[in-house]
Amino acid sequence: MKDVVFPYPAWPGPNRMIVSDAYESLVNQTGLVKIAQCNFETDYTTPKDYFAHAGTLAQILLAGHAICYGDYSWNKVEWRKASPPDEAALRQHIATTFGEKLARQPFESLVNVAEPAESRILKAPLATSGGGCGQITNGGWRNTDEEGYRKMRQPVEASIAPLESHDIAGTCGRNKSVCDTCWIRRAEEQRLKQTTPAR
């Protein structure tokens, strides 16, 4: 993931969006997709003027692909970070269970912050018959019901810090707005204060 500056003045944040390298390469390739950028769309549109229908990407990729993150949230689970004390506890548990070498690997290669159950530290020691990768057999687990798996999953989930903000009615819900629409919510709150009789 990286912070990318897009050449659109209306892009939130200002003009910034955190995207994956893959997404950036797709939207910056001429002709693959046509973005309907807020305040830069044409005055009159017809179906298929934008996005996959207006580019060649859909013709190249036959099926099974989604938008950059898979949802339209302003506070994406993919942006969660490690909680330092809980990450240290997780690394200690990994070291005790599988050794120091594995415990020293980057947090991002061990834990999937968007889907903790899909974390490599949980999947690699889990047998393929139990839904894992079966890459670590010494000390691994046959299935997710085993005590060792449950004991590893707990610090994995605890190691992920919660998001600081949460979406509110389709807006970013942050004190310093990045969605450029929080003013609607604030205006409504102000209107309600002015129209609610004092008690």
Q: How far apart are the C-alpha atoms of 172 and 70, rounded to whole Å? A: 17
Residue 155 CA neighbour count, 13 Å, CB half = 22
Give a yes or no: residue 130 inside a domain.
Answer: yes
Regarding whether 60 and 86 lie in a shared domain, the answer is no
Regarding whether 47 and 91 lie in a shared domain, the answer is no
pLDDT, the chain, mean: 81
pLDDT tens per residue, range 97-143: 999 999 999 999 999 999 999 999 999 999 999 999 999 988 899 99
Q: What is the CA radius of gyration of the chain?
A: 22
Give a yes or no: residue 34 inside a domain.
Answer: yes
Tell me which DSSP letter residue 55 carries.
S
Give a yes or no: residue 62 inside a domain.
Answer: yes
Identify which of 110, 145, 111, 109 has the alpha carbon closest to the alpha carbon of residue 126: 145
Amino acid at 37: Q
pLDDT tens per residue, range 85-107: 999 999 999 999 999 999 999 99
Q: How far apart are the C-alpha atoms of 157 and 153, rounded to whole Å? A: 6
Give the chain's domain count.
2
Q: How far apart are the C-alpha atoms of 97 and 140, rounded to whole Å? A: 9
Which domain covers residue 13, as residue numbers? 2-68
Regarding whether 87 and 57 lie in a shared domain, the answer is no
pLDDT tens per residue, range 13-42: 455 566 777 677 777 777 777 776 666 666
Higher pLDDT, 10 or 45: 45
